[in-house]
Amino acid sequence: MTDLAVETNGLCRRFGELEAVRNVNLRVEAGQFFGFLGPNGAGKSTTIKMLTGLLEPTAGQVRILGLDLASDPIGVKSQIGVVPEGLALFDRLTGPEYLIFAGRMYGLDRVTAAERTEELLDFMGLADRAKSLIVDYSHGMKKKLAMAAAVIHGPKVLFLDEPFEGVDAIASGTLKAMLNRMIARGATIFLTSHVLEIVERLCSHVAIIHRGELVAQSSIDELRCGVSGRRDDEQKLSLEQIFLEIVGGERAAVPELSWLE
Amino acid sequence: MAGVISAPGKSTQLVLVAWLRWRLFINGLRTATGKLNLAVHIFMGAGISLGVVGLGVLLGVGSWYAIRYGKPALVAGELWLVFLVWLLLPLLISGFGAESDPVSLLRFPLHYSSFVLLAFAHGVFDPAAAACLYWLAAMLPGIAAASFGALAWAIPAFAGLALLNLLLNRAIYAWLSRWMAQRRTREILGAVGILLAISGQFITPLANRYGQRALPWVPRLTAAARLLPPGMAAAAISFGRAGSGGKACAELAGLLACCGVLGWLLALRLRAEYRGENLSEARRPSIEAYTPVRAGWSMAGVSPTVAALFEKDLRYLLRNIMAYLTLLTPVLVIVVLSMGRHGSPHPKLAGFMLGPSTYFPLGVAYILLTVVGLAFNSMAYDGSGLPMLFAAPIRFRDVILAKNLLHTLVLTAEIVAVFVVIQLVAGHTPARVVGLTLAGALWALLANLTAGNLVSLYSPRKLKLGQMRRQQASGVAVLVSLGVQVCVAGLGAALYFLSRWAGNTAWCGIGFLALAGITWLAYRRVLNLVTGIAWKRREALLAELSRPD
C-alpha cells in the first residue's frame, strides 16, 4: 500500500447557506507534486485552509502523513509548511527576524534557525534587504520570504496557495528549482495555481475542484487520456484544454462584444 | 473596431462623480450597521446643527455690537474663531488620516479643471466649512444693522477670508495626503498629532506657573495677529467704516495676496497629483550593507517558543511610535500633576490632595489603565501574521503568555520611571505607600490579564500600526475593561478604608496579596484554556484580525 501524504474523507465546509466545499475525498501520495485546480470561487483556498488547520471543516476528516488533524493538530503542523493566501507575514519585522521567528516556531534552536535564515536569504536573493522591514518589501520579495519561512524547518508536506502569483520570472525560476529539489528529497508539495502552464510543467498529479466538488483527480497523463478519449482527439491536449473541457464545457462558444468587432 | 470616443465634458464628469458618491452612500445603507451609522449621524447632526445655528446668532449679535459701539477687536475675535474652527476641526475629526480624494479618479480621462473642482468640492462640503460659511453669513446682517456702509466692506472681506480658508484647508490636505502616502511620514505625522494632544495637558499648569510672566507678551501677540488674515479682514471693515477706503483696500489686497500664495502652493500639489506622481508605500530599493544574521533571544525560565514570541512582540512594540507616546503619557501626567501643585491658588488644599504619598499610587493607577488597555486587545497588531501562529505547531497558550510577559515588563518599566520622576520632582515617597501600591498593582495586573486574555480571544479588533484614526478596541473590550477597573478600584478602596478603620494599613497590603494569590489561580486556569478557545475560534479571529486593509 502506498503512503498517503494528504487524505481527506467527506470534507465539507458550509458558510451559512453556501456549501463552499462538498464531500471532497482527496488522495495525495507521498512524494507527489500535486496541483489543486479550479475556477475562481471553486473552493481551492477553503480546502487548503482546512488542510492546514486554518479553517474548521463542517464535516469530514483530514489526515496528513497518517495523522488526524483534528485530534493531533500540533503533530500535523510540525510536519507541514504553509504559504497561505495572504502570506501571513509579521510585516513589522525585518526579513531575517521573521525567518528566525518562523524557524523557532517550528522548533528549531536559535543557532540552527539563524544559520538556515542566512542560507535562505542568500538563496532567495533577499540578503541585501536584510535591514528593511517586511512592510517595505515588494510583493515578489514578500512571496519569496513567505516561501522561505514555509521551508525553514524542512517540512515533509508543503502547502502553497498561489505561490507564483505576482512573482517575476527570475524569482519564479528560483522557487521552482527549490520546489523540485524538495520533491527529489521525498517531500510532497500541494499547490493551487491559476497559471496552468506552471502546474503542467511542475506537477505530476492534479485534482480539479468545481463549485465545491472534486470533479477530477489523477495524474496529468491519465487525465489527458480520459479527456482525449472523450473527444477522440489525436493531438496531445494541454492542461488548459483539459481544464476547460472539465469545468468550462458549458461555455464552449465565447460570446462576442459588439463594439470590439 | 469602433472608433475611439472623446472624453465626456466637464459638467458630465462632475455629475458622474456626484452620482458615484450618491450610490456609494445609498449602497452603504444596505447593512444594518450602515443604517445605524446614518441614524447616529442624523441624531448627532441635529444636535450639532442647533449649536451651530445658536453660535451663528451670537456672532451676528456680537458683530452688530462691535460695529455699533466701535469695538473692532471683537470682530477680529469672531473672525479668528471662524478661521481656527475651519482650519482645525477637520484635522481633529480626521485624526491626521488621509481623506478620500479625487486622485483615485485619475485613471479615467478626468479634465484638470474637473479635478480641481472636485478637490474644492471636498473642501466646501466639509461640515466645518459649511458651519463656518454660515457663521460668516450670519455676521453680515448684524453688521448691516449697525452700519450699512460697513456691509460694503464686510462682504468682500468675508468673501476673501472664506476663499483663503478654503485654499488653506485644501492646501493642508493636499500636502498631508502627500506625507500620508508613505508609512514613515504617516507615522511621524501621527506621532506629532499625539504630541500636540499631550501638550494640551500642559497649558493649564504652564499658565499657572508662568502666566504672570507671559502677560507683557499679550500686546505683541495681538499686534502680530492683526497682520494675519482674520486680522486683515477685520481691519478692512474697520478702516472702511471709518472712511479710510485706501487703507481698507490695502487690507483686502493683503488678504488676496495671501490667497494667491496659498493658491500657488495648492496648484503645485494638484498639478503633481494630476500628472500622476508616484507616491507608493514601498521605499526605493537600495542595496544594504551585509549584516550577519544574529540568533534569536533566549530567556531564562520560559520555553524557546515563548522567548521567540516575546522577542517578536517587543520588536513590534518598539517599532510602534504611537505606543511610545501612549506609554510616555503617564510619566508626563505625573510631571503635570506636580507642576499643578506648585502653581495651585490653594496650596494647602492641593498639598492635602496631592503630594509625594499620593503621586505614586495615582501614577501607578494611571499606568495600569494605559497598559491593561493593551491586554484587552492583545492581538490587535498581529494582523496579517496571525495565520502563521495558527499554522505553526505551537500552543496558543504560549502566544498569550508572551504577550502577558511583555505587558508585565512594560508595566514594571513604567512604574520604575514614574517612581524615579516622583522622587526627582516631588520628593520622597514613603516605603509603606510604595509597598501598598505595588501589592495593589500586582493584584490589578493579574485581574486585568485574566479578563484581558479572554476578551482578546472573544472580542478582538484589528488595529493598524502608525494610525490614529479609528484605532479603538471593540466596545465589549472597553466595557469589560471598565467593569474590571471599577471592581478592582472599588474592592481596593474598601480594603484600604477598612484597614485604616482597623488602625493598620498593612492589613490592606496583606489583603491585596491574598487577592493576587486567588487571581493568580484564575489566571493560570484561563491561560490553560486559551489554546482550546483559540483553536475553536480561529476562524473568527482570522476573519477579524487578518482581514485585508
CB-based contact B437:B360 (threshold 8 Å): yes
> C-alpha B250: how far from its chain's center?
40
| Whether residue B197 is found in the same domain as residue B311 | no
| Whether residue B418 is found in the same domain as residue B490 | yes
| Whether residue B337 is found in the same domain as residue B239 | no
Domain hosting residue B246, numbered range: 60-201+224-275
* Nine cell digits for residue A96: 531575517
Which residue of A82, A121, A135 is in closest CB contact with B391?
A82
**C-alpha distances out from residue A123 to A131, A145, A215, B212, B270, Å:** 17, 11, 38, 68, 44
Domain hosting residue A171, numbered range: 4-219
| Whether residue B340 is found in the same domain as residue B474 | yes
Interface test with chain B among A21, A52, A54, by most B beta carbons within 10 Å:
A54
The total number of structural domains in chain A stands at: 1
Q: What is the pLDDT of residue B97?
A: 47
**C-alpha distances out from residue B274 to A98, A131, B261, Å:** 39, 34, 20
pLDDT tens-digit readout, A121-170: 999 989 988 888 898 888 889 999 999 999 999 999 999 998 888 788 88
Instruction: With respect to residue A157, please indicate whether it lies within any of the assigned structural domains.
Output: yes
Instruction: With respect to residue B16, please indicate whether it lies within any of the assigned structural domains.
Output: no
Instruction: With respect to residue B47, please indicate whether it lies within any of the assigned structural domains.
Output: no
Instruction: With respect to residue B290, please indicate whether it lies within any of the assigned structural domains.
Output: no
Instruction: With respect to residue A258, please indicate whether it lies within any of the assigned structural domains.
Output: no
Which string of b and e fits A15-44 if b means at least 16 CB within 10 Å? eeeebbbbebebbbebbbbbbbbbbeebbb
Instruction: With respect to residue B293, please indicate whether it lies within any of the assigned structural domains.
Output: no
Q: How wide is the angle at C-alpha A137 spanned by C-alphas A133 and A138, nearest 5°?
A: 170
CB-based contact A180:A134 (threshold 8 Å): no
CB atoms within 10 A of CB A199: 23
Instruction: With respect to residue B232, please indicate whether it lies within any of the assigned structural domains.
Output: yes
Judged by CB atoms closer than 8 Å, whether chains meet at B285 and A138 is answered as yes
Is the sign of the CA dihedral B444, B445, B450, B452 positive or negative?
A: positive
Residues of B in contact with A117 (CB under 8 A): 293
How far is it, in rounded angstroms, from Cα B315 to Cα A92?
8
3-state secondary structure of A57: coil
Residues of B in contact with A127 (CB under 8 A): 290
How far is it, in rounded angstroms, from Cα B253 to Cα B459?
58
| Whether residue B374 is found in the same domain as residue B336 | yes
How far is it, in rounded angstroms, from Cα A55 to Cα B539?
6
| Whether residue B90 is found in the same domain as residue B135 | yes
How confident is the prediction along chain B (549 residues), in pLDDT tens digits per residue? 445 567 677 788 888 888 888 887 888 787 777 788 788 888 888 888 999 999 999 999 999 998 888 887 888 899 999 999 888 877 766 554 445 567 777 777 788 888 888 888 877 777 888 899 999 999 999 999 988 888 889 999 999 999 999 999 888 888 777 777 666 777 777 777 777 777 776 777 777 767 777 777 777 787 777 888 999 999 999 888 888 889 999 999 999 999 999 999 989 888 888 887 655 554 555 566 667 778 878 888 889 999 999 999 999 888 877 777 777 778 877 777 766 554 444 554 444 456 777 888 988 998 888 888 889 999 988 888 999 999 999 999 999 999 999 999 999 999 999 899 888 877 888 899 999 999 999 999 999 999 999 999 998 888 877 555 556 777 788 889 999 999 999 999 999 999 988 888 889 999 999 999 999 999 999 999 999 999 999 988 998 888 776
Instruction: With respect to residue A61, please indicate whether it lies within any of the assigned structural domains.
Output: yes
* Domain end position, chosen among B275, B293, B312: B275
| Whether residue B354 is found in the same domain as residue B418 | yes
| Whether residue B237 is found in the same domain as residue B315 | no
Residue A67 phi, psi dihedral angles, 5° rounding = -95, 140
Burial of B443 (0-12, 13-18, 19+ CB in 10 A): buried
Q: Mean pLDDT across chain A, nearest whole number?
A: 88
Work out whether strand A33-37 and strand A59-64 pair parallel, antiparallel, or are unpaired. unpaired
| Whether residue B392 is found in the same domain as residue B247 | no
* Domain end position, chosen among B275, B292, B315: B275
Angle at which helices B229-241 and B217-226 pack, to 10 degrees? 80
- For residue A178, the domain's CATH number is 3.40.50.300
The residue ranges of chain A whose pLDDT is under 50 are none
Instruction: With respect to residue A101, please indicate whether it lies within any of the assigned structural domains.
Output: yes
Instruction: With respect to residue B32, please indicate whether it lies within any of the assigned structural domains.
Output: no
Instruction: With respect to residue B483, please indicate whether it lies within any of the assigned structural domains.
Output: yes
The total number of structural domains in chain B stands at: 2
Residues of B in contact with A52 (CB under 8 A): 391
Q: Which amino acid is at B380?
A: A
Burial of A120 (0-12, 13-18, 19+ CB in 10 A): buried
Instruction: With respect to residue A129, please indicate whether it lies within any of the assigned structural domains.
Output: yes
| Whether residue B254 is found in the same domain as residue B367 | no
Which string of b and e fits A231-241 if b means at least 16 CB within 10 Å? eeeeeebebeb
| Whether residue B495 is found in the same domain as residue B365 | yes
| Whether residue B244 is found in the same domain as residue B322 | no
Judged by CB atoms closer than 8 Å, whether chains meet at B312 and A101 is answered as yes
DSSP A35: E
Judged by CB atoms closer than 8 Å, whether chains meet at B387 and A135 is answered as no
3-state secondary structure of B31: coil
Instruction: With respect to residue B519, please indicate whether it lies within any of the assigned structural domains.
Output: yes
Instruction: With respect to residue A213, please indicate whether it lies within any of the assigned structural domains.
Output: yes
Q: What is the pLDDT of residue B5?
A: 63
